[in-house]
Structure 1
Amino acid sequence: MAKATKKQALGRGLSALLKDPENDIQSVSDKNADQVIGNVVELDIQSIEVNPFQPRSNFNDEALTELASSIRELGIIQPITVRKLDFNKFQLVSGERRFRASKLVGLETIPAYIRIANDQESLEMALVENIQRQDLDPIEIALSYQRLIDEIEITQEKLSDRVGKKRSTITNYLRLLKLDPIIQTGMRDGFISMGHGRALINIDKKKEQIAIYEKVVSDGLSVRDTEKLVKSLKEPQGSDSEKKKDTKAAPEYVTNGLKAIKDHLAAKVDITTSSNGKGKIVIPFHSEEEFKRIKKILTGD
């Protein structure tokens, strides 16, 4: 208990240091910066503004109330992270749920780690930390990945290293943004899962996407059932004999090698063959970046 009290008192002492105009810390090289940066400081909650780069836009009211109740009883267990904007003015980098819940409880101060960062660094820190630590829905994660790619000008390969996810995983999330907004909202609200969304992406026409989405929700279809439904709609219309003929036209060496090609490219690959042994490989792409990625894998530059 004495150790916790000492730490809290230290935080209040550092807070007083930050409120001294003669010790306004603007960079890591400033006097007393080493005492503040990276340490837990008790900050006035009114001196902190919400991060405009925050990827999370949905906050469950019930979960927020439960967190507020926990904070009322036990206090803040994990400090939030902020960046210094100006004299006694800070901006959230991560921990918005804790920040919101603390305001609900009526706390006047909140423990925080302080960083000094520019807008781009703040954006990257906020997005990466939230992707890794927060329970974002699939669309929020996809939007976070897209913002990192667009605003920080980072490739999917580098993003993969930055967030510790496979590049194919990032691609699968980004593809969700091609769904109709109605379906994206349904995923964010929990009516369908990411697995449902990945199946619906294979339907090109938005009207058909929505029609299948409505059937999935109304009938409570599983991901597997949804995949079967989508597959049945995409299969070419024709006689059973024609379908059997098409199936037989693909030699065993083609069907055996198809998975290896897909895994290597981390992309959808279509192969068609004819009875004379000829065939073609079709590799669809959904953006300029994806085309360049596939080209790099195939050509090496």
Structure 2
Amino acid sequence: MAKATKKQALGRGLSALLKDPENDINSVEDKNADKLVGNIVELELDKIEINPFQPRTNFNDETLKELSTSIKEIGVIQPITVRKLEFDKYQLVSGERRLRASKLAGLKTVPAYIRIANDQESLTMALVENIQRQDLDPIEIALSYQRLMDEIKLTQEQLSDRVGKKRSTIANYLRLLKLDPIVQTGMRDGFISMGHGRALINVDDPQKQLEVYEKIVGEGLSVRDTEKLVRAINNPASATEKEVKGSNVLPGYIADELQGISEYFGAKIDVKVSGKGRGKLIIPFSSEEDFKRIKKLISSEE
């Protein structure tokens, strides 16, 4: 308990030091800079601006509320990291969820580590640190890689060394940015996985790519099924009969009505369509009672 009190008091003391214009610290060479580096400082929330280099763009409201509740109960366990902009002004480097949740909890200050870095260093720190997180979606990671390469002028090899990832891994993420924006949004929202996205990249026709995407989402295709479907589309002559059947991308007039038909019958309706436009509806049933229910629905339409 005494140790925690001492640490908290140190943070308040450094906060007071940072508010003294005569002791403005802007580099590691400045007086009292050694007292700042490596220590936790209590900073006022309204003195911290959001990091423009933050790769995360989606913040789940429910998880933010949960974190806010936790902060109200036990405080901010892991300090955020900021960089000094000017006297008594700071910019977030990492920890935006903690910062947002702290504001939501009604806190006035937040524990922080202060770094002294220029724009490029701040960009590198923010992106590299966030890339290592487990909860970024594939598109956020891809955009972070692309931004590091564009703004810091890194090659894929140099980026590989900087973030500790294989060059092939980085290349696979970057290729996702070639997907149609609708497909990218679907990946960010969790409707499809990175594996689905990697398979869809091989469909050059944008319209066909969207048709396959809709089939993945509508029918819950696995990554393996998607890969087979893409192979059948790209190489119809060499595709196996099973793969050709799996390549049954529905015409728009059927896809638009399929959900309504499934809802009417209370079952997931499967549709098979031939190249000549002929097809069939497959209505599954789970029991004799379910079969009679469906039969009654069909009879009522006659």
- If the length of structure 2 is used for normalisation, what is the TM-score? 0.78
Kindly state the Cα deviation for residue 130 of structure 1 after the two structures are TM-superposed: 0.3
Structure 2 vs 1, CA of residues 238 and 84 (structure 1 numbering), >3 Å: closer, same or farther? closer
Whether the 8 Å CA contact 2:42–2:112 is kept in 1: the answer is yes
Partner of 1:48: 48
Kindly state the Cα deviation for residue 134 of structure 1 after the two structures are TM-superposed: 5.0
Q: What does residue range 136-155 of structure 1 map to in structure 2 within 5 Å?
A: 136-155=136-155
Aligned-CA RMSD value? 1.2
Kindly state the Cα deviation for residue 230 of structure 1 after the two structures are TM-superposed: 0.6
Kindly state the Cα deviation for residue 164 of structure 1 after the two structures are TM-superposed: 1.0
1:7 equivalenced with 2:14 (yes/no): no
2:64 counterpart letter in structure 1? L
SS of 1:133's equivalent? coil
- Quote the Cα distance in structure 2 between the aligned partners of 1:100 and 1:67: 9
Kindly state the Cα deviation for residue 39 of structure 1 after the two structures are TM-superposed: 1.4
- Quote the Cα distance in structure 1 between the aligned partners of 2:101 and 2:189: 21
Partner of 2:95: 95
Kindly state the Cα deviation for residue 162 of structure 1 after the two structures are TM-superposed: 1.1
Structure 2 vs 1, CA of residues 100 and 239 (structure 1 numbering), >3 Å: closer, same or farther? closer
Q: What does residue range 1-301 of structure 1 map to in structure 2 within 5 Å?
A: 1-133=1-133, 135-237=135-237
Q: Deviations over 1:209-240 (max 9, x none)?
A: 10100010001111111111111111143799
Partner of 2:251: none
Kindly state the Cα deviation for residue 38 of structure 1 after the two structures are TM-superposed: 2.6
Kindly state the Cα deviation for residue 158 of structure 1 after the two structures are TM-superposed: 1.2
Q: Deviations over 1:73-126 (max 9, x none)?
A: 111111000000011000000000000000000100100000010101100100
Whether the 8 Å CA contact 2:231–2:239 is kept in 1: the answer is no
1:128 counterpart letter in structure 2? V
- Quote the Cα distance in structure 1 between the aligned partners of 2:98 and 2:7: 20
- Quote the Cα distance in structure 2 between the aligned partners of 1:144 and 1:211: 28
2:224 counterpart letter in structure 1? R
Aligned residues: 240
- Quote the Cα distance in structure 1 between the aligned partners of 2:238 and 2:27: 70
Kindly state the Cα deviation for residue 135 of structure 1 after the two structures are TM-superposed: 1.3
Kindly state the Cα deviation for residue 2 of structure 1 after the two structures are TM-superposed: 1.2
Structure 2 vs 1, CA of residues 220 and 238 (structure 1 numbering), >3 Å: closer, same or farther? closer
Segments of 4+ moved more than 4 angstroms = none
Kindly state the Cα deviation for residue 161 of structure 1 after the two structures are TM-superposed: 1.2
1:33 counterpart letter in structure 2? A
Partner of 1:271: none
Structure 2 vs 1, CA of residues 45 and 233 (structure 1 numbering), >3 Å: closer, same or farther? same
Whether the 8 Å CA contact 2:50–2:91 is kept in 1: the answer is yes
- Quote the Cα distance in structure 1 between the aligned partners of 2:236 and 2:183: 25
SS of 1:202's equivalent? coil
Structure 2 vs 1, CA of residues 90 and 239 (structure 1 numbering), >3 Å: closer, same or farther? closer
- Quote the Cα distance in structure 2 between the aligned partners of 1:27 and 1:36: 11
2:155 counterpart letter in structure 1? T
Q: Deviations over 1:271-297 (max 9, x none)?
A: xxxxxxxxxxxxxxxxxxxxxxxxxxx
- Where do 5+ consecutive residues of structure 1 fail to align? 241-301
- Quote the Cα distance in structure 2 between the aligned partners of 1:3 and 1:86: 32
Whether the 8 Å CA contact 2:18–2:88 is kept in 1: the answer is yes
SS of 2:91's equivalent? strand
**Matched residues, percent identical?**
78
Q: Deviations over 1:145-170 (max 9, x none)?
A: 00000000011111111111111000
- Where do 5+ consecutive residues of structure 2 fail to align? 241-302
- Quote the Cα distance in structure 1 between the aligned partners of 2:161 and 2:90: 29
Partner of 1:294: none
- Quote the Cα distance in structure 2 between the aligned partners of 1:236 and 1:134: 39
Which entry has the higher C-alpha Rg, 1 or 2?
Answer: 2
SS of 2:77's equivalent? coil
Q: Deviations over 1:44-85 (max 9, x none)?
A: 111000001100000011111111111111111110000000
